Each structure stands twice: as C-alpha cells, then as structure tokens.
Structure 1
C-alpha cells in the first residue's frame, strides 16, 4: 500500500465554480502527512456521473486508498455513493439498521424525514458504514477491488472531521501502510516578506529531513517544518535544531506557532503582564477589534474600542483637537497619536492602538495617496506613531487587513522591547 499511496477526490460543482474554498482537501492532506501516509494526487470534479466515474476508476489504477468528500446526502446532486457503486459494478443495498438510525437523527433534530433520505441508507454490498456523529449522511469504507479501498465523507467540514477522528483515522493507522511518523510544525512571521525570509534561511530550505517550506499570505509568512521518524519522539528531535536555528536568525519576526494568531499572542502577552488594551479605528472600521474578539477569553484583557470614522466623532469620542485635524489632516501621525491617547484615557486601558488611513479606491491625493495608513501604539511609556504605504493596487479590503496586521505587530514588538 505504501507504494501506491493515498488520493483525494473532492466532489462538488460549487468547488469548481469557486463558490466554496476547498478547505477539506487541505485539512485531509495535513492529516495524511501526520499519519505518515504517502499522498500524491488531489482531484476535484463537479456533480457529474461520467466525470466522477472516470476519476474513481483512474484512482483505482494508481492508488491504494481513495478519500472522497462531498456528494453524500438526499438531494439529486448527491451522487457519490451510487456513482462509485456503478463505477465498479456493484449493486446498492439498503441497510435497514442504517435507515432507522437516519430516521432517528432527523426526527430528533426536528427535521422532516423525506423519502429521498432513504437513499442515504443504501451502500454497495460489502461496504462498511463510516458513521456520521454530527449529521444524517453516513460515509463508507469499501474495497471494490483487491488492494484498493474507498473512504467517503460528506462535504460539511465539521461532519467530515468528526468522522475522520472517530473512524477513518483509526482505520488508516491499521491499514494505511504508513512510511513512518511525520511531525509538522508551522512558524508564523510578520513584518518580513517571503523573499527576504527565504533569503535569510536559504540553506535550510534544501534539507530533505526535516524539510522547510515557506508559504505566504497577505501580511503573513509561514515556514512549515516537517520531519519523518520511526516514532513521534524521533521526528520531534529532528525538528528541534532546525527550529532553533530559524529562530536564531529571524526570531524577532516570528510571532507564533501553528494556529496562533497575532491577536492571540498579544492577548497572552498582555495577560501575563496584567495589562489591558483598547482600540480606536477609522479606516479599518472595527477590524482590529474583530481580530481581537475572535480569540476566546479576550474579555479579561480587551476593554473595548471606538470606531471614529468621521472627524466629528474623532473629536467628540476621542478628544482629538480640531486644530490637529485642520493642521495635519485626519490621516497623520499627530491625529492618530491623539486617537490612541484618547482611547487609552477614556477607556482606562494600559495600552491603546489607533489607525487612520485612506483605504480607497477614492479619497487619495498627491500628498496622501490611496493606501497611506497611519498607526499608533500608546502605552505607559508614551505613544509611537508611524506611516505605512500599502499602495493603490491591493484594493480596499487588503489595505484594511494589512493595517490590522501592522498595528497588532507594532504592539507585539513594543512589548518585546520592554521585556
């Protein structure tokens, strides 16, 4: 099995149209890597019998395990189970015990039980039920040919993940033919571009075990470290010296690991200090507050914020002097400094962040173009303000998102400098 590997097949026209991001494939791929299972190919097909049939038959020729997501359920476009059975010449048979379970789930959840729901209780002869603890559409584990097994999951991410943890992962550990134990770690960086970071660690990107690979997104760069060992401890031991070297070279830009966010790291730092935070926002319209409040338990650190979009609100709610706005403009260091200090004073926080800028697409000029943003961090030892020029080509949403990232990172670095 290790020679032929695992393949992922995602079913859904909405994926092809771009209406839904294919997060399932990424998540499954990460789980396969963690299990040490070789994974060589991913395919997406629409809700089409002929193309789904062809994709399944092709996978059977080159893979040992095919994992599918999507197309399970009672609606006409839920074709996966019936199509797979037909593709390999198998008859569907109704499982009475499965139908009773589906009826019970639907009635308990207050949903009507339609005749179409009965199709979910039909599986190919010999297939094992892959239970769905969170939904009514079960999956299956089925071997239509010797040396080839199909595992099917619904497209709903929460259902798919629950089924994976409860049934699929144990099965894959027993039958998947793992090549070893893979351990991955992700380091997250801010305030440095992907090319600059890659240049500083270029020699480490050429290793084979562990491997180091950069991934960039808006305002954020990640380095994924992956090692393979005979067991978890050996793989971890291989990662440690590489991670240590990466942090030695670029540690000031590394704000967290794995699923940590800038906001979660900041909140932890402030919590450890016993300090509080407030925000004052103009062009981001609450984006900083949203990033902070997305972190569970933030209320012991985050006191609140002010969205002061108009100059009048900057004056009334934050105490910004009209003379400052008249002399320097709303998008300026003096005004954003006054916003941060006003938020800190009026909300009674130890720290305050402030943003004022021109997100576009209009409103810019020769001296203050679209993409110009001023940010400030006010704290017990004073206020620091600075300008960022994101340019006019990124678009309004990108300018807002980058502004949030930069001001959060500004506070992170300020806290680090204070020790």
Structure 2
C-alpha cells in the first residue's frame, strides 16, 4: 500500500511558486507510516492530467491531489478526475450554502462562477474546507483506490488534511505504524568522505540511513518504522550514537539545529560572549547569530569593516600590514578578530575577510579565497585559510564563509 502526491498547476511547472504542499504531504505521510514513492506535478491540462491519473492509479492505492479546485476555467481537477472514472458531476446544495455563507461573512456576493466548486463526482464525500471556499473530496471510485483532493492554498490544505483526511485514513486502518526520522548534521566534511566512513550503515533495513548535501552542510537522515514514535526512537538511538562516534567533531547537531544555534548554546553554557568583524560577508555572520532568539545573552555585536579605513580606524588593523599583505590575508584576519574582541570586550572575536567575487580575484588571490580569524582568552589568536572556488558564486561563498567561521569557533569551544 502506498500513496502518490499529484500537484496540479501550470504555475508550479513555470516555477512561479514553490511547491511546499508536496513537502508537507510527504512529511505527513511519513508520520502516518504510509510510504509514497512518486510525486507528480502537472499543468492545468485535462489530457495530461488524465495521463497522470492512469499511471498513478496503477501504482498507488491513495492519490492525493492539490490545486485546481477554484472557480476559474483552468481549475479542472475535480471534473477531470470524474471524467476519467466515468462518473457524473453532481451539484451539492450544502456546498453552495457554505460558500454563500462565507461570502456574506466577508461582505461580498458569491458570483455564478463559484457554483462550479459545488460540483463533485457522484458517490464522493465532501472534504470540508473550514477557511476557504473550495471543498475537496474523499472518493473511492473503485475497490482499493482512495482519492483526496485539496485546494492549492497551503493554509487551507493543511487544515483540511489535519481535520478530515488524517482521521479518515486512520479509520480505514492506515497509519498503524509511523515513520520517524532524525536528521544528523555535519560541517567540515565532504559528503563522499562521510558516506565512506558510515558505509556499513547505508544498507540497513530498519532504521535506514541516507546521506544528503546542501550548501556545504552534509546530512544523514536516520529513519525508522515502528508502531510508535518512542519505539522508532529506540531503534534510531544506537545507530545515531555509533554515527556520532565515527564522525567526531564533524557532527554538530540534529533536526532544527544550525551551526549558529549550536555555537550559541555552547557560549551560553560556558558563560562566554562573542563579537564579530566582517568584510566579505557584509553582516551575514551577525545575521546568522541574531536569527536565534535570545542570542543577546552571548552575542554583543559586530563591525562590518568593508573598507580598509574601517579596519584600521575601528579594528586597529596595522596599515603597514594592510599595504604589505593586503586585506585578504591571515595577518589581517587575526588583527580584525583581536580588534573586535578588544573593542567590544568579549570573550571571543571572530573575523572574516575574503574575495567573494565574481570580480576582484587575482592569480595569487583568486575568487573564493577566505581567511577566518579567531581571537580568544589569554590573547590567543589564530587564522584559517579556505579556498571555496570561484564557480560557487558570490552568495554561496559568503554563506560558506560565515558557517565555516562559526564552525571553527564551535570546534574550539568543544576542545
């Protein structure tokens, strides 16, 4: 038994909107222990939608449609499904009444086109929409096949799924097992290198382990299928511990953790404070830190020293060193870190200087060259050199620089 998610809308194919509905439904199905192996996006075209239904109905027992339930001519989901299965559309007076009432509450008059939303396949049940005007359906057009339709508006779909679809699925005996996952996160290690280290775990049947990589971060999703979340957690726990032991300091957190949030907790736990000096990241490092609620407990502020005069005037960088070694150098990174730590009187000072591109690189200092400076207690100052590569683009180089700077501090705090 499996489900398939079918998202209808030409705007999805054109990339005009992000398909967050598919992500939400995938997570919800996992929580119910209902496997799904395919997701399909199709435009507002009845012929192509029928082709999708033909294929999906042969490989899944639950078809979940989102989109195409509105009053406009291109909203064709319900009538196309009915036509595919040879069922007539019938107008439901209770839907007309519900839509009319909602329009009155909003101080508007229902137009004739809205009556289209009251047409559902004969034999289908109404899937109520508490917040919008477009209802969905729950329909079993043949034995072994259940169809759900939802509007494309995410907030409406979420409410309808939780209020009606989930109880219905559970009443049919689905959802007796759940799929629970832990997302383990790593920084400072390549996906291929980590996958090689944990290779024996990648073929486990339950729990399963799968690697992912995005923007310099590597993730291992550990998923278990069990009768309850606690049982799934019991299956995951020993595997998670073994992976953490193998990864060592490359492991930094799980699930909703970020490098910034983990660094923040370490600083808070130690009763220590941080200030930052940024050049090529232009405030991105400070933004990552201040996105964390309560970060004022440990983060005191920063200086964006984009121009060399700011490096000299506010951070105390030696002008002769700037002239000799350039702004993008280890010695300047160290002086920036030490300078901001001194100026703001914090336990730690963290700095970034580099060439984010796409211009500004030279043969000796190419785009993607970044130095991180770290100044700590007892006047300890050190720097780290990185080559992120010109092909990664300005935005990604800046992101990698900020996260890598935080990761250096994280490792220092754990030693």
- The reply to whether TM is greater than 0.5 is yes
1:214 pairs with 206, 211, 214, which one?
211
Question: Deviation at 1:102?
Answer: 4.1
Q: Retained in 1: the 8 A contact 2:211–2:219?
A: yes
User: Which consecutive unaligned segments of at least 5 residues does structure 1 have?
Assistant: none
| 1:53 aligned residue (50, 58, 61) | 50
Residue pair 1:45, 1:51 contacting (<8 A) in 2 also: yes
Q: Does 1:62 align with 2:59?
A: yes
Paired residues for 1:287-306 under 5 Å: 287-306=284-303
Q: Shift in Å at residue 415 of structure 1?
A: 1.3
Residue 321 of structure 1: CA displacement?
3.2
Residue pair 1:34, 1:184 contacting (<8 A) in 2 also:
no
TM-score, normalised with respect to structure 2: 0.90
TM-score for both structures, normalised by structure 1: 0.89
- What is the aligned counterpart of 1:234 among 231, 234, 250? 231
2:170 matches 1:173: yes
* Counterpart position of 2:269: 272
Separation (CA, whole Å) in 2 of partners of 1:317 and 1:75: 60
Evaluate the alpha carbon distance shift between residue 246 and residue 388 of structure 1 in structure 2; reply closer, same or farther with a 3 A threshold: same
Partner secondary structure for residue 296 of structure 1: coil
- Residue 298 to residue 112, structure 1, CA distance change in 2 (3 Å): farther
* 1:98–1:346 CA distance, 2 compared to 1 (3 A): farther
* Maintained 8 Å contact 1:38/1:179: no
Aligned length: 414
Q: Deviations over 1:174-202 (max 9, x none)?
A: 32634733221110111111111011111
Indicate the residue corresponding to 1:92 in structure 2: 89
| Separation in structure 2 between the aligned mates of residue 113 and residue 411 of structure 1, nearest angstrom | 60
Is 1:27 matched with 2:24?
Answer: yes
How far apart are the structure 2 equivalents of 1:94 and 1:377? 69
> C-alpha offsets along residues 236-273 of structure 1, whole Å, 9 cap, x if unaligned?
22212111111111131111111221122222222223
From 4, 7, 11, the equivalent of 1:7 is 4
Aligned to 1:188: 185
Q: 1:252 aligns with which of 249, 253, 260?
A: 249
Shift of 1:107: 6.3
Unaligned runs of 5+ in 2: none
Supply the RMSD in Å over aligned alpha carbons.
2.6
Quote the residue 2:402 is aligned against: 404
The answer on whether the counterparts of 1:38 and 1:178 sit within 8 Å (CA) in structure 2 is no
Pairwise CA distance, 1:213: 1.0
Q: CA deviation at 1:12?
A: 2.0
Deviation per residue, 1:49-94 (Å, 9 max, x gap): 1111221233223321101222233344332223223322333344
1:416 equivalent in structure 2: 414
Give secondary structure in 1 for the equivalent of 2:343. Answer: helix
